[in-house]
Structure 1
Amino acid sequence: MRAGGGDRARCEVRGKPIRQSWSSKSKIELPVVVLACSFFFLAGFYGSSLLAQDVSGAGARARALESVGDERDYVPLPRGETGDDSFVSIPFQVLSWGPRALYFPNFATAEQCQSIIKVAKTGLKPSTLALRKGETAENTKGIRTSSGMFVSASEDKTGTLDIIEEKIARVTMLPREHGEAFNVLRYEIGQRYNSHYDAFSPVEYGPQKSQRVASFLLYLSDVEEGGETVFPFENGINMDGTYDFQQCVGLKVKPRQGDGLLFYSLLPNGTIDPTSLHGSCPVIKGEKWVATKWIRDQVQDD
């Protein structure tokens, strides 16, 4: 009995200090708990606010890149003698920074494309190549198998090429006088242009009076299958010396009527961009029409 009573007593004694300890500690710890809860509440509140600001800021930046002038009015600045008195919006997408390649959807209308095809159709001849030392028309046969013709904006009585040429000058910021005549090309089934450079290396082609800075391709027709413009060295890929120039691998741009493709053959320092190598994949189904405008670093003779 004593042992049992002693056990109960010990239990009662132990229980009593526990209740006293909790009561005393609660008086001390309550402010600490309140302060801790307040701290975490404020930290969470301000943290979520900052996160929301970051996300909304990123969204605003993306919207700003998508379009200009949707949410506010812009007043044109005072301009020079050759400048514009209003804003011009021409949508584009950067496809690559190596090479610098930009895509322009709906750059020309279907009617404009058909007009250019009509102008060129009667004067098509087999496409030729600029030959390097040791090359002949015979041993380079098969590299470029399209047909085409050169036509300047001044020769187009419809005025369509004049409009397109002016628009190209705006998006490239390279003067119209620096452009060669349009090379309008037709690729039929199986026809292609193996990967090549538009710029001319003086080592391979000899001294040049001027150099091609940029190329603008205006697709005049849809192509059911094949016919893509390909950049096999995009971002430095396939540059190990084993690339087959007849292959069609890399960054590809599918022709769509009225769309434009701009790429630069020279780096900002004036040297040839090795990643600007490009070609035209074989047409598998359909027919490909394209108008190419090569732009040089000097004024071109008419």
Structure 2
Amino acid sequence: MKAKAVKGNWSLRTNKLSFPYVFLVCIFFFLAGFFGFTLFSHSQGDGDGLRPRQRLLDSTNEAEYNLMPVGELGDDSITSIPFQVLSWRPRAVYFPNFATAEQCESIIDVAKDGLKPSTLALRQGETEDNTKGIRTSSGVFVSASEDKTRTLDVIEEKIARATMIPRSHGEAFNILRYEVNQRYNSHYDAFNPAEYGPQKSQRMASFLLYLTDVEEGGETMFPFENGLNMDGNYGYEDCIGLKVKPRQGDGLLFYSLLTNGTIDPVSIVHLFS
């Protein structure tokens, strides 16, 4: 499965489309409170990571609703963020047109000079040598506070409201580029303590924002959707299961943990290019 072309003009692309790839930004949210403490507070804003409203998000006409009085950190308007449930096993939610083309191109511009080969969290007994080829993309971590354009700040605020998870529970954005034939083999975004050792915190959910279009390939794939293909014979080359095609500006939220805090066995994910 190959990404043959990227639509839209931006500085890393030539007019002849000689460097086709998929660009996406990923932010991970941690489960806090379940382990008894709060994680990764932002240097700006209040302790919950939610700042006073600055009308950064699209809102519906307040005249249509009889709004309730708000708390100190609440919103004085109704926020409308369209979504589609793609799956309940795993829990995967699609957000069309989550970001504008201009916002996507701004994020790409912020990331382009810092891209380096993506790293891999190693399980017990694994080394960099025996895990080569599992993850072949390039990427860079950028926090919202590092983006002078404030684009990531707006996107992070919107993600917090779409997921109902405070900004203080999120990692920095991981902005990734997948060129032709690059991939991230099947993996869980959460960390199984039996494989990775004791964990002080845990990733509960991931939000992907697709920054480019592609004509072919580039899907995010969930091969075990609804418990299918779990008989041990699955190979990621089979390209089976729930597949989400990249479309510039669209978002994808999926949960790696069940409501009891354990890893959802059907949430395994594979990224193609």
The residue that corresponds to 1:112 in the other structure is 103
The residue that corresponds to 1:254 in the other structure is 245
C-alpha distance in 1, partners of 2:157/2:64? Answer: 26
C-alpha distance in 1, partners of 2:237/2:268? Answer: 12
The residue type paired with residue 250 of structure 1 is G
Q: Deviations over 1:250-295 (max 9, x none)?
A: 10000000000000111111111111100112x2xxxxxxxxxxxx
Give the alignment partner of residue 220 of structure 2, picking from 229, 238, 250. 229
The residue that corresponds to 2:176 in the other structure is 185
The residue type paired with residue 177 of structure 1 is S
> Is 1:95 aligned with 2:86?
yes
Give the alignment partner of residue 164 of structure 2, picking from 144, 155, 173. 173
Task: Number of aligned residue pairs: give it.
Answer: 214
The residue that corresponds to 2:204 in the other structure is 213
The residue type paired with residue 115 of structure 2 is L
TM-score (norm 2): 0.76
The residue that corresponds to 1:21 in the other structure is none
CA contact (8 A) 1:150 1:184 kept: yes
C-alpha distance in 2, partners of 1:136/1:90? Answer: 42
Q: Deviations over 1:77-114 (max 9, x none)?
A: 11211111110100000000000000000000000000
C-alpha distance in 1, partners of 2:244/2:155? Answer: 20
The residue type paired with residue 216 of structure 1 is F
> Is 1:243 aligned with 2:234?
yes
C-alpha distance in 1, partners of 2:176/2:214? Answer: 14
TM-score (norm 1): 0.69
Q: Which runs of 4+ in 1 moved over 3 A?
A: none
RMSD: 1.5
The residue that corresponds to 2:138 in the other structure is 147
> Which consecutive unaligned segments of at least 5 residues does structure 1 have?
1-68, 284-302
Relative CO higher for 1 or 2, CA cutoff 8 Å, sep ≥ 6? 2
Q: Deviations over 1:220-249 (max 9, x none)?
A: 000111110000000000111222244421
> Is 1:202 aligned with 2:196?
no
